[in-house]
Structure 1
């Protein structure tokens, strides 16, 4: 798809986020299982449920713009996901695992916040007012998820500091 208009860029980015959100519905439950902090596991589980809603909202946005909901591989999420996999494979301490999971999750949240901010602005410029409200709702939930992770990180990072360094 040639991105020669804001319309085309909007649709391309929407397809990118559709892929990302669908993939996150599979990744977040895995992260919840790896988390040792019950609070962190709960945060991942509840955000996985929210993410299902994000997928549904994106499908509604596709309807609003008169396009078929189709995903396009999100290279950014693939890279962020690989970093999260690395943490899950290599962390040798529960506290370190949780700190790494939070950092990985926040990298994803920050990417999503940037993308949903842009999509919302573009939707406004393209006069897709119904799409703006859906995108802004998701944007606010991504910001809230990031804030929640910040709060959990304060405790988790303290635990990780006391991990024994491998000799």
Structure 2
């Protein structure tokens, strides 16, 4: 069997690269700020529309976690001597709109609604987890190691929520992370 070399050789980070990476990082941070604010508004609606107590409890728990995530993002903005700012993340907006639309397009108290909500919510969680994981790597590349650790902690919670949603649906857990 042939061995594959997985060693990553990154190009050197120049000052121009660092500046551009910081711009990309801040834009994505603003999108995640918007995402968490919107998530805090959306999740209670999903919890109210869920039939299963376990799914309701998962949405309630993740609402509280999203509030913590938002507070951590605010802390990061302050650490960077910036005021917290939001920018609409169009991809996340579409995913969240699909989740809320399920409440209007399915019958209450049905398995089809719960499984549809799980699928939609899991899509949101996987997207969030991927974004936080990437942001953590960017922060480390820029030299913001404390910020990277905070973002990595958020990633872990998002990934855990995606796994919980998978278990609730009966799907095998495979988050790719």
**TM-score of the pair, normalised by structure 2:** 0.83
- Structure with bigger RCO (C-alpha 8 Å, 6+ apart): 1
Which runs of no fewer than 5 residues in structure 2 stay unpaired?
A: 1-18, 172-177
- What are the Cα deviations for residues 28-76 of structure 1, in whole angstroms up to 9, with x where unaligned? 0100000000000000000000000000000111122222110011111
For residues 120-159 of structure 1, what are the structure 2 equivalents within 5 Å? 120-154=136-170
* Partner of residue 57 from structure 1, selected from 72, 88, 106: 72
- What are the Cα deviations for residues 84-113 of structure 1, in whole angstroms up to 9, with x where unaligned? 122111112610000000001011011101
Report the count of equivalent residues. 152
Which runs of no fewer than 5 residues in structure 1 stay unpaired?
A: 156-167
Match of 1:165 in 2: none
Structure with bigger helix share is: 1
For residues 1-167 of structure 1, what are the structure 2 equivalents within 5 Å? 5-92=20-107, 94-154=110-170
CA RMSD of aligned residues (A): 1.3
Q: Which moved more, 1:77-86 or 1:111-120?
A: 77-86
**TM-score of the pair, normalised by structure 1:** 0.88
Q: Which moved more, 1:9-18 or 1:80-89?
A: 80-89
Q: Is the 8 A contact 1:64 1:128 kept in 2?
A: no
Q: Runs of 4+ in structure 1 displaced over 3 angstroms?
A: none
Once the two structures are TM-superposed, the CA of residue 16 in structure 1 deviates from its matched residue by 0.3
